[in-house]
Structure 1
Amino acid sequence: MSNDLMSGGSGLPSPLRFWHWSGKLYGSRSQDWLTVQSQGGNVNLALLLHWLDLAELSVDLTELQPALMQTEAVLAPWRALRQCAKSRLDEDEYQAMLAHELELEQLQQGVLLQCLRASPPRREPGHNLMNYLTLLGAEQGPLRDLIC
């Protein structure tokens, strides 16, 4: 794990650094990461769990549930509204909705990181992403090369 993603003594990235890191990772394999969402999972959580695996940190998924539920209560309806309205909006309106959704995604990542700071992960190699994908029944999906 590169030191430029680490932040302070917590061993966790800053929200902005994590946003940029996850954007690059997501962008290189967006359809693979969207498979997590199609299986009922959360892409931001999956990206964070992958980062934790790379940093050799282990977390209890149940500790992240409250943060995930809180942010998904806002993000999921907005995403559904944007997708539903796509055919009825001009390009500028659609892009504005998409930009707001990305702001909500970034907020969700920040809340997840804040939750981790309150209950820090253990310094031990974890199988965070594999455990999450297994819960979703997606461990044989397109991200399996990240968990082998």
Structure 2
Amino acid sequence: MTFVNHFDISLWKNCDGYYHQHQALCLELQDNHQLNINLLLLSLWLDKQDYLLSTQDWSQLQSETHQWEERVLLPYRKLRKLSKNSLASDEYQQMLDVELMLERKSQRLILHKLKQLSPSGESSNLGTYLSLFNLNKADYPSLVELA
């Protein structure tokens, strides 16, 4: 089994564990700094694999993911948030389920792009990804502990 095939098997399951450990921080970074949670979690997972991507690779991943999400996921997320007080709890849950489906589509797009990249970075993926948003990993020690 090649390393790239390993991405398909365990990547998002492990990332889901990271997310549940630091859900509040992930949502804060998403809402306040427009980070992509999937890419943030990917950076942590890749650091654990010692599979370092370059700043250019991270910029490309961010840009391509953001283009798709800006057209589909982000408008839907905004609609869901606006609708929260107008819907019954089961209707709102249905909206959350659709958003999760869109997140999975985003994850597939990320995996497709990731398979085209080769490790070429020189520093941690978490630090490199955060730097795209002028953030420093030293400001997020709980995330650094995961990497």
Identity %: 31
Structure 1 residues 113 and 100 mapped into 2: Cα distance closer, same or farther (>3 Å)? same
Match of 2:18 in 1: 25
Which runs of at least 4 in structure 1 moved beyond 4 Å after TM superposition?
none
CA-CA distance at 1:79 after TM superposition: 0.6
Q: Is the 8 A contact 1:82 1:97 kept in 2?
A: yes
RMSD: 2.2
Structure 1 residues 72 and 129 mapped into 2: Cα distance closer, same or farther (>3 Å)? farther
Residue type matched to 1:25 in 2? Y
Q: Is the 8 A contact 1:82 1:98 kept in 2?
A: yes
CA-CA distance at 1:115 after TM superposition: 0.2
After TM superposition, the score normalised by the length of structure 1 is: 0.81
Residue type matched to 2:25 in 1? D
Match of 1:127 in 2: 124
Q: Is the 8 A contact 2:43 2:126 kept in 1?
A: yes
CA-CA distance at 1:58 after TM superposition: 1.5
Q: Specify every segment of 5 or more residues in structure 2 that has no aligned partner in the other structure, as ranges.
A: none
Q: Specify every segment of 5 or more residues in structure 1 that has no aligned partner in the other structure, as ranges.
A: 1-7
Please give the alpha-carbon distance, in whole angstroms, between the structure 2 residues aligned to 1:33 and 1:91: 24
Secondary structure (helix, strand or coil) at the match of 2:2 reads helix
Please give the alpha-carbon distance, in whole angstroms, between the structure 2 residues aligned to 1:63 and 1:44: 14
Match of 1:117 in 2: 115
